[in-house]
Amino acid sequence: MASYELDHEQNALSADVVRIRIEGMLDIEQAEELVEEMETMVQKASDDFVFINDIREFEPLPQEGVNTIEKGKKILHNHDASAVIRIVGSSVVGKMQFERPGDEYSFFEATVNDLDEAHELIDEWEQRD
């Protein structure tokens, strides 16, 4: 069974963080619904927010779903995300769908193994600024 969860938080150093966790294989309708909900959430985030995409339990979308992933990336770009951090699992194909080359985006992209590592990376960036 597929599911997803969205969340918006401030970290200890005041970074605005939007997080999504996807489990299982979403169908196209679920993926499009998720992207719409994501857009609503990022509209509430401050400029230069960080987006954490937890895809450890994600199963690859059907080929037609790749356009939905690209739409999500464009939304992040258009709403001034400063970085996208992917928490990856063992699905090589799922990881490749999110890392697939496409348009050039203004945000930094990183890949980590767990949520703690993602927060450590954000804290490092915040301390540099």
CATH number assigned to the domain covering 3-116: 3.30.750.24
Question: Tell me: the pLDDT tens digits for 52-97?
Answer: 999 888 887 777 778 888 899 899 999 999 999 999 866 555 555 5
- The confidence score (pLDDT) of residue 96 equals 58
What pLDDT, in 10s, does the model give residues 13-57? 567 899 999 998 888 899 999 999 999 999 999 888 999 999 888
Contacts 24+ apart (CB under 8 A), 109-116: 109/83, 109/84, 109/85, 110/83, 110/84, 110/85, 110/86, 111/85, 111/86, 112/85, 112/86, 112/87, 112/88, 113/87, 113/88, 114/56, 114/87, 115/52, 115/54, 115/87
Classified as helix, coil or strand, 51 is strand
When mean pLDDT is compared across 6-10, 68-72, 90-94, 125-129, the lowest value belongs to 90-94
The full set of domain ranges for the chain reads 3-116
Task: Give the residue with greater pLDDT, 25 vs 128.
Answer: 25
